[in-house]
Amino acid sequence: MAIVRFGVSLEKELLDALDQYAEENHFTNRSQAIRHLISQNNVATKWQCNNLVAGSITLVFNHHKRDLMKKLTDLQHHYHDVILSSLHFHFDKDLCMEIIAVKGKAAVLTELADKLIAVKGIEHGKLTMSRAD
């Protein structure tokens, strides 16, 4: 892949914001930060266009909540065609985290994540998607 150099003109406030973003995210230079921002935008566009994407759904919950595990398992079985794998972690005697690896159309993954996160007893949930092509 060829690297192309070009000049960019920015207002001082935007340049300061870019430098702060690069520092907070441990990028070694502005070019790396800009590449990351453009890549993020490309992924977001793929979500909106309902392209094929891959990602993870992270759930944090108290596994003692009534019927919670059954509801989560039933939902995952319903979407078996987009679920690649799942990992279950025990933080302590009550609190668990589950990470579900997924691949499919962005709309389907969003639908699955929304349904899982909405299950009563889920304390925190997040869908993260990235390009799969």
pLDDT in tens, 87-119: 999 999 999 999 999 999 989 999 999 999 999
Question: What is the predicted pLDDT for the residue at 63?
Answer: 87
| Pair 84, 100 in one domain | yes
In a domain, 1, yes or no: no
Distance CA 40, CA 1 (A): 19
Same structural domain for residues 34 and 87? no
Total domains present in the chain: 2
In a domain, 7, yes or no: no
Residues 122 and 63 in one domain: yes
Residue 74 and residue 119 in one domain = yes
Q: Residue 42 is part of which domain span?
A: 12-48
- pTM beyond cutoff 0.75: no
Closest CA to 129 of 60, 56, 79, 41: 56
Indicate if 56 and 96 belong to the same structural domain: yes
Instruction: Report whether 19 contacts 11 (CB < 8 A).
Output: no
What count of other Cβ atoms lies within 10 Å of the Cβ of residue 83?
19
Task: Report if residue 21 sits inside a domain.
Answer: yes
For residue 92, tell me if it sits in a domain.
yes
Contact assessment for residue 62 and residue 96, using Cβ atoms and an 8 Å cutoff: yes
Does 28 reside within a domain?
yes
